[in-house]
């Protein structure tokens, strides 16, 4: 059982209720308490310093009252707590991630524009929170193509073999184990490979055989998976080694998946700010399943 809560953000929108359902079921799977949080946006006239960040709202909160009625008929339930706060939702939710097992949000809140598939609050939380952030899309989102997969419950994880992230793999294996799912490991390699010559605007065909690149990618993937398989022998993990765009393959694999897991960029010396990464952003915007964005493991001292 987890002692840290699953925190889910609600705002009264249908998207947030879809996220609430996912968080509720996940808290049961994890044996974790569920904290339902509604962050009321600062009034438009408020200036920095006028309203203290994170001020509890003492009055009855109609959004949380609605959530209470929505969950009232469920017999099996995790330990529940409702929290109403006032502040800037993106920043406050990211801060709450410091005390959460997971932070769960809908793909677009009540304040989002109809054309956006992920609101700014969700993007900020996924970029900045210290815990994994799960963004749950509306049911029925379509993906451009199908990927033939083995039957059964499935978790998908992206593996970048030239820069693997152990925290992302560990999270994916743990989620697969908890859900009785097998793990599809998407390891994409760039292809076709182009080599520029000294002559202007000339590209030579690749000097490396594609089969060799694919085999090398598979060998590296198997090596990175080995310690996680040893820790989770009950999880069947299958590498899916494919050429081309990693984001596109992850989105295609998201159809009917329980969860897609991607890593967040590590901080770099010349770019110390937290970054999402183009693959994670694309998967968040287009995947048909819930997407977990996992922060990198802290650097070793």
Check whether residue 12 and residue 61 sit in a common domain.
yes
pLDDT value at residue 201: 55
| Residue 300 within any structural domain of the chain | no
The rounded radius of gyration (Å) of the Cα atoms in the chain is 21
Check whether residue 56 and residue 164 sit in a common domain.
no
Instruction: Report yes or no: 252 and 193 within 8 Å, Cβ to Cβ.
Output: no
Contacts of residue 248, Cβ cutoff 8 Å, sequence gap at least 6: 144, 282
Check whether residue 13 and residue 129 sit in a common domain.
yes
Nearest C-alpha neighbor of 91 from the set 118, 121, 119: 121
Check whether residue 237 and residue 276 sit in a common domain.
yes
Average pLDDT over the chain reads 82
Q: Whole-angstrom Cα distance, residue 46 to residue 84? A: 18
HSE of 131, CA atoms in CB hemisphere, 13 A: 21
pLDDT value at residue 103: 95
Check whether residue 195 and residue 81 sit in a common domain.
no
pLDDT value at residue 101: 95
- What is the tally of structural domains in the chain? 2
Check whether residue 11 and residue 75 sit in a common domain.
yes
Check whether residue 44 and residue 70 sit in a common domain.
yes
pLDDT value at residue 198: 52
146: left (phi over 0), alpha (psi -120 to 50) or beta: beta
Q: Which residue segment(s) compose the domain that 20 sits in? A: 6-136
CATH at 236: 3.40.50.12370
Instruction: Report yes or no: 132 and 36 within 8 Å, Cβ to Cβ.
Output: no
How many CB atoms lie under 10 A from the CB of residue 66?
14
E strands along 148-289, which residues? 154-158, 182-189, 195-196, 203-204, 237-243, 259-263
Check whether residue 99 and residue 199 sit in a common domain.
no
- Where a domain ends, among 136, 163, 182? 136
The pTM score is 0.84
Task: List the chain residues with pLDDT less than 50.
Answer: 44-58, 109-118, 267-273, 301
| Residue 64 within any structural domain of the chain | yes
Q: Whole-angstrom Cα distance, residue 239 to residue 169? A: 12
| Residue 143 within any structural domain of the chain | no
H or E element, residue 133? strand 133-136
Instruction: Report yes or no: 191 and 244 within 8 Å, Cβ to Cβ.
Output: yes
Check whether residue 290 and residue 160 sit in a common domain.
yes
- Where a domain ends, among 105, 136, 167? 136
Instruction: Report yes or no: 240 and 185 within 8 Å, Cβ to Cβ.
Output: yes
- Where a domain ends, among 108, 136, 164? 136
Q: Whole-angstrom Cα distance, residue 252 to residue 242? A: 12
Check whether residue 163 and residue 275 sit in a common domain.
yes
pLDDT value at residue 251: 93
pLDDT value at residue 61: 85
| Residue 45 within any structural domain of the chain | yes
Both structure tokens of 94: 């990211």
| Residue 94 within any structural domain of the chain | yes
End-to-end alpha carbon distance in the chain: 29
Beta strands 182-189 and 154-158 are parallel
| Residue 59 within any structural domain of the chain | yes
């Amino acid at each position: 059982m987890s002692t840290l809560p699953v925190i889910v953000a609600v705002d009264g929108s249908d998207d947030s209720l879809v996220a609430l359902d996912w968080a509720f079921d996940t808290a049961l799977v994890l044996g974790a308490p569920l904290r339902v949080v509604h962050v009321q946006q600062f009034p438009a006239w408020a200036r920095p310093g006028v309203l203290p960040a994170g001020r509890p709202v003492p009055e009855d909160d109609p959004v949380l009252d609605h959530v209470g009625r929505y969950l009232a008929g469920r017999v099996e339930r995790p330990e529940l707590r409702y929290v109403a706060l006032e502040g800037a939702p993106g920043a406050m939710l990211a801060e709450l991630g410091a005390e959460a097992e997971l932070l769960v949000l809908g793909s677009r809140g009540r304040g989002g524009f109809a054309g956006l598939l992920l609101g700014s609050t969700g993007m900020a939380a996924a970029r900045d929170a210290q815990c994994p952030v799960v963004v749950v899309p509306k049911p029925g989102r379509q993906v451009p193509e199908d990927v033939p997969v083995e039957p059964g419950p499935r978790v998908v994880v992206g593996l970048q073999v030239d820069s693997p992230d152990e925290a992302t793999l560990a999270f994916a294996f743990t989620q697969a184990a908890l859900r009785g799912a097998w793990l599809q490991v998407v390891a994409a390699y760039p292809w076709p490979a182009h080599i520029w010559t000294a002559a202007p605007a000339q590209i030579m065909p690749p000097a490396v055989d594609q089969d060799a690149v694919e085999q090398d990618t598979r060998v590296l993937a198997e090596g990175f998976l080995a310690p996680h398989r040893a820790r989770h022998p009950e999880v069947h993990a299958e590498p899916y080694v494919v050429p081309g765009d990693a984001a596109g393959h992850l989105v295609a694999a998201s159809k009917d998946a329980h969860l897609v897991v991607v890593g967040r960029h590590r901080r770099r010396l010349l770019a110390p700010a937290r970054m999402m990464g183009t693959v994670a952003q694309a998967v968040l915007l287009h995947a048909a399943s819930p997407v977990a964005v996992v922060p990198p493991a802290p650097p070793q001292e």
